């Protein structure tokens, strides 16, 4: 039994490390101490708690991370747009989504410049680039420079920070 628990802990640590990159952070557009007042959607934490699920609040407002391979958009490849779950701002197009085998949805580009804000994250004893919704400042995940496409980028995003608008729904 101890061996099984050890193996499970080791597997979880390995999966978490798969989406981590110890290289220098990608260009940062937000200073470390920038406040949320610099975003166009500003709510109190109590207002966010009323509009987000407990899990979404943890990810988007407390900078949490969902467990790998558990998010509904990890292996989701329908045509459409991915929006911020907190404010509905369009962030990613399905054409930029790819399977990175890291356990979280991955994109190689945002819809347009400024949709995603970047800041250096020094948690976990390393420097990474955190990505935030450009409209409400919600934590989305991190960006790495190890992507397999021509952009060389991998936006590693928590499914709980996203909603999806199907291309079929927008055609109706």
Measure the CA–CA gap between 53 and 73, rounded to whole angstroms. 17
Q: Looking at 39-108, which runs of residues are DSSP E strands?
A: 80-84, 90-93, 97-98, 106-107
Give 141's contacts (C-beta < 8 A, 6+ positions apart): 65, 104, 130, 131, 155, 156, 157, 158, 161
CA 74 vs CA 18, 47, 104, 119, 156: distances in Å: 14, 28, 5, 24, 10
Is residue 19 flagged as an active site residue?
Answer: no
Give yes or no for a contact between 18 and 10, defined as CB atoms under 8 angstroms apart.
no
Q: Catalytic amino acids?
A: 156
């Amino acid at each position: 039994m101890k061996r099984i628990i050890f193996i499970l802990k080791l597997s979880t640590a390995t999966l978490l490390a798969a989406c981590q990159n110890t290289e220098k952070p990608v260009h940062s557009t937000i200073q470390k101490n920038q406040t949320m007042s610099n975003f166009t959607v500003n709510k109190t934490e109590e207002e966010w708690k009323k509009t987000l699920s407990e899990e979404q609040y943890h990810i988007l407002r407390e900078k949490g991370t969902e467990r790998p391979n558990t998010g509904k958009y990890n292996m989701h490849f329908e045509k459409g747009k991915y929006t911020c779950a907190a404010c509905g701002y369009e962030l990613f197009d399905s054409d930029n989504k790819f399977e990175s085998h890291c356990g979280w949805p991955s994109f190689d580009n945002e819809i347009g410049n400024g949709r995603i804000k970047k800041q250096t994250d020094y948690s976990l004893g390393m420097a990474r680039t955190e990505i935030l919704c450009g409209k409400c400042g919600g934590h989305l995940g991190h960006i790495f420079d190890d992507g397999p496409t021509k952009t060389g980028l991998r936006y590693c995003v928590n499914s709980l920070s996203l909603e999806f608008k199907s291309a079929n729904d927008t055609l109706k």
